[in-house]
A and B are shown apart, each in its own frame.
Chain A
């Protein structure tokens, strides 16, 4: 095939053009013929014409200062926040402050809310139900099931989000966040992701559902999907308490008391870091396998700095992000609470459904270093990770048959550290169970709020399914491997 002497203007019989030509189809035919004449770079010529014209008009209307201004505030700030020396330390400092404010600031209102919703309103509701002679199953289902789960979610979730999101939004409105994406872009580029994923990830530490929404700023289809699918590995607010609790009870307990705080904090941080590393690894894998065919582009505009309007920002971020996310969480917590209560209270042949399930899942749970109780808790806690620990406690009491602890079948409860450790030990927990629970809490399916959000954002069942199942499969593999190696080593 050395020479190519093509046959000009081949004609075939038409299939697409309707048999009776109308003036409209005539126009389209003309357009089609003309398209061959005007050449392939027509579109670009058009853009060039428009931009040339825009430049001409702008030039006539704008008078520029003769000399460059001596001091350009934007450039000066940019030079500091993206400098080789100060760029990263400044970033770390800012985000440490944000997270510290969130964690330490949220404790107090969280305490108030749980005192109000769990310790005050709940007994009142129970008393009220008793006063009007509500049947026990109805008050159990409504108050112990649905109300309690929702109250739990609200009291754990609301305060940190109400602090984290406004702070984050202030940084966003100021214009700092695009600079963070700019600074971190190289790491993300190497794993096939977009620099702006740094921000959706950061947002994910507050709440994965909000993190998924935040991926909207990524305008490249492939990178946006990567950011959505891997967002789950940013350890969200709902999972921090689980991590901290288990680390304190089981890992802090391994070392002398004066080291306990430090060691358990280290354990939690390493889980969070592991999550970040996993999301890089998964980004890398995804961009080279199932997402290979998706379009990938990159553009990152660094907008001018603008002083944020503090009050409006707080107002809008509470409305926009916090309440919307909370509302979604509540709509999922209500039915989940009902299911948890029913599972613990509907019995078949004297055994509750929960116990059947636990016994059924126990072999699998033990194989991966967990147990049936934990697996069941994770299944019913799909709506919100916040209720995992109270559910585990309630189910452990149910299975072990311990008396004098808890508030009855299907009623979630909390308790102090040493008592909890005792209860879990009775439930057969070991150090391996604790480590694997921490791992599984990081690597499992997103909560239903997040799954729903992923569906809303991608509009695709396929990607929603992948984003939901991939992490849980990874979780099973990781915990399985850890369990087997652990058992090999410890004999």
Chain B
């Protein structure tokens, strides 16, 4: 029989060691796998993607910009570009770097993979928004064209990723969102968010934190050099222009009839009160959103709160004749307009 103290210490060390190795995402094994994935091929593909992005944005890709976006040295970049050139993926003419037709196909494939994967994560998994981009950056290099076709079919051939970026079709077709930056929207004109830029991650995180999503109606009420004040889906937001510029909007043809009011969510209903659904937050997606639709929760539906769970956190509502319990967090997705003016308690 070993001494209990020694065996405790040994076991503690063993468990600590295995945690160090096997811990998801931060463990040694996970890091090793991660590092292993940044291979030469991936660097090449990332470079193609960068050049394509520059093309679209009308900027000139340079050795320096490529080196910067891939986090590698300029010498290494030069070698990389040479290799891409010998594979007939890029052409360097007078110091200008261009994609060949073949190179653009490769770039579009990577973009398609990235955006489809983000769409997949948003619709079919439980990962949170902050995780999407990072995961897609990894998986975009691992999916073959055939796998992408299967994925697209499984996702019902989506046209846009969750940030509002168009997903190139298998044949390379892509219609861009055609939006303008939020700052360019005239004051008090109705608009709709069509795209949220997910890079840099820090700015994107701020946009998510504000609860902004593609599809939300917006109306700008104030623009100054320091800040832009606007309503989005019944909530007022104030952002610095640098943040607001990462939001793309399109102008809507006609003004919504009612003036913006701070809308209530289903959570604000007390048992016995009824309200009409205005919208379901775009933040609610995938299976959860489909479930709502199935249950008959749609704009215009009348919902009456019936009773709170004695444990709290969950409330039962009468929705189209059925008694259905929803959690607080879900009820928050549902914006409502109260049926009768509030009765003083």
Contacts and interface: CB of A to CB of B under 8 A. Distances in A.
Contacts of A1: 57, 197, 199, 246
Contact of A4 (B127, B145, B197, B286): B197
A84 B104 CA distance: 64
B168 A10 contact: yes
A9 B175 contact: yes
Interface stretch (A138-146, A268-276, A299-307): A299-307
Nearest to A300: B325
A460 interface: no
Interface in A26-42: 32-33, 35-36, 40-41
Contacts of A3: 57, 181, 245
Nearest to A299: B291
A241 interface: no
A124 to B, nearest CB: 47
A293 B101 contact: no
Interface residues of A, number: 74
Contact of B323 (A48, A87, A291, A302): A302
Highest count of chain B CB atoms <10 Å: which of A33, A295, A481, A485? A295
B43 interface: no
Nearest to B183: A2
B310 A84 contact: yes
A51 B298 contact: yes
A456 interface: no
Interface residues of B, number: 74
B324 A40 contact: no
A165 interface: no
Contacts of B199: 1
A16 B145 contact: yes
A348 interface: no
Given A32-B169, A52-B300, A488-B5, A293 B125 contact: yes
A188 B170 CA distance: 43
B224 interface: no
A6 B170 contact: no
14 contacts: A2-B181, A3-B57, A9-B174, A12-B108, A12-B168, A32-B157, A43-B293, A182-B325, A185-B314, A185-B327, A294-B125, A300-B326, A301-B322, A303-B323
Interface of A: 1-17, 32-33, 35-36, 40-41, 43-44, 47-48, 51-52, 75, 78-79, 82-84, 87-88, 182-187, 189, 195, 219-220, 222, 289-304, 366-367, 477, 480-481, 483-485, 487-488
Give the top 3 A-B pairs by smallest Cβ distance, nearest first: A12-B172, A16-B170, A6-B176
Given A2-B245, A44-B293, A304-B323, 5 more contacts: A2-B242, A75-B306, A295-B126, A302-B316, A484-B5
